[in-house]
Structure 1
């Protein structure tokens, strides 16, 4: 009897939508799936996708971000065997892995060298409106209720490269010194995936006061950008935008909204805001590097060094 499984839920960097945007920008990607394992023959059990980058001092580097993705099954995917074949067949040069779900011991056995400790994401479960509202923190819900009475007018529109959100958010990222997907990538994603790149915008007395960008990719969606002007902050526009986006995405069949990295140290207010939606903390697996020259030494690292 087949082991019970949930469908493969692909984060943004592992999605075909992301690959199409990369291709439009001239970035090389490659990937594949592993199908069939024992009695589960014919079903996808594992998916992977890499992008090529050129980094100073390292040259051509392959990036495997938040992969490989495995099904949530009683029977685990054969990761050791997959890594052995994948690493033997890949091009020469370094491989950077932003791990998500792969046990550290598997990575050590495969010869990966740990570079950075794990970060955490906020993942919001999407479903019936009553359940999503019940999961809201009380203060978040109160602010949403006030925003719904504030006179804000919302609209949903296809993301365009000339929308004011993109350059405004890019300037905000520079000023606050954080990294985000650049406007050019968002525009390429929208062009390569019609209907999968959306903006929710809030206006007050006809003037735009806040907006968010959301990328859709299979069972998941990702909140990638957001800007709130002073009038938007006072009226709770961001609460209303995210609530309406979550309601719409749930109605379209999406199961999760990825709200991005949690950074309690540098952005405690944003972290509190994200978790107030009822989002779950999802801990990633850290950043690792694989090179053929270092792999034998990496395999001999003590376990404490990889935590």
Structure 2
């Protein structure tokens, strides 16, 4: 029923210093890419957890720090001491769990971005087991895609910010009004470890009709880019590509895939597509800010201090830090 044709044997990813199933923003791959881009990134101990922290010193503003999607298992007391522990004037936490979000709120952090839903797919050990978890409608679209004469090829992504897929996503994002990860960042991630970026491309009669980019990190992978034209949509290239990626990534040693944003209210079709793979939806904790400017104030004055920080000429740093990644 499905294409279970044997695939080449792949070399498993190199051992990591961070947790093997950690999100992309807490992976060795992210750490290496940040170093390539000249960012100040390091691993710090926060209680019993190890977290990747990005830092930047800005004149007249002070030390800014970002901790994105680390499982911190915070208590209110530990959260209240975070900024001092990290030696930062201003600290942004993109909370991985709702429990950490509650601790941050109780500690006096100011929420600057609401929580979002993501889809997480745990890959079964065999294609048959993965197929059994597919939703019936998704399985039907997969059958349709596999009957359309599509040729699917996988290639490692070159570390080139002008890669055709990055240029295609730039055009797609302008049309659909979303903010993609900067091409320079994706190129740095793809170049930070052999085979980190894997591009699956669907062709029909020799022409590209759809493509997906996955970033491998530890025993996990992140679905970073999905591009498709009208022909690809008509021929159900999306399920065909995703299925091939699931099978081949599992053979490469990947155990979980972060499929990214899956909000049933704001993007119901995208959420259905991701859930159709057998993925489960989970709420993140939102983005939270603690700043010395706000700690010195109370009530409305505190809210104004937060707004002033976001409105400075360096506010783009907070915007970049808290912007959700597009994994469509």
Q: Same fold (TM over 0.5)?
A: yes
Q: 1:282 to 1:52 in 2, by over 3 A?
A: same
- Counterpart residue number, 1:116: 113
Which digits, 9 at most, give the CA deviation of each residue in 1:34-87, with x for residues without a partner? 69xxxxxxxxx52211223589x96753221111x25xxxxxx57567546643
- Counterpart residue number, 1:94: 90
Deviation at 1:260, TM superposition (A): 0.9
CA distance in 2, matches of 1:264, 1:198: 27
How do residues 203-282 of structure 1 correspond to structure 2 at under 5 angstroms?
A: 203-282=203-282
Q: 1:53 to 1:134 in 2, by over 3 A?
A: farther
CA distance in 2, matches of 1:275, 1:298: 43
- Counterpart residue number, 1:13: 25
CA distance in 2, matches of 1:260, 1:78: 24
How do residues 1-307 of structure 1 correspond to structure 2 at under 5 angstroms?
A: 9-33=21-45, 46-52=49-55, 61-67=64-70, 69=71, 83=79, 86-101=82-97, 102-128=99-125, 129-160=127-158, 161=160, 162-295=162-295
CA distance in 2, matches of 1:184, 1:287: 24
Contact 1:111 1:294 in 2 (8 A): no
Aligned pairs, how many? 277
Which digits, 9 at most, give the CA deviation of each residue in 1:102-145, with x for residues without a partner? 43342234432222321110111111322221221111101111
Structure 1 unaligned spans of 5+: 1-6, 36-44, 71-76, 302-307
- Counterpart residue number, 1:304: none
Structure 2 unaligned spans of 5+: 1-18, 303-328
User: Alignment partner of 1:192: what SS?
Assistant: coil
Contact 1:112 1:295 in 2 (8 A): no
Contact 1:114 1:288 in 2 (8 A): yes
Q: 1:298 to 1:90 in 2, by over 3 A?
A: farther
- Counterpart residue number, 1:39: none
Q: 1:54 to 1:150 in 2, by over 3 A?
A: farther
Contact 1:211 1:226 in 2 (8 A): yes
- Counterpart residue number, 1:38: none
Residue range with higher mean Cα deviation, 231-240 or 161-170: 161-170
Deviation at 1:96, TM superposition (A): 0.9
CA distance in 1, matches of 2:250, 2:83: 38
Contact 1:111 1:297 in 2 (8 A): no
CA distance in 2, matches of 1:286, 1:11: 15
Which digits, 9 at most, give the CA deviation of each residue in 1:240-297, with x for residues without a partner? 1111111112222322111111234443222221111111111001111112353487
CA root-mean-square deviation: 2.7
Contact 1:113 1:298 in 2 (8 A): no
Q: 1:58 to 1:140 in 2, by over 3 A?
A: farther
Which digits, 9 at most, give the CA deviation of each residue in 1:161-186, with x for residues without a partner? 24321100112112211122122111
CA distance in 2, matches of 1:92, 1:21: 22
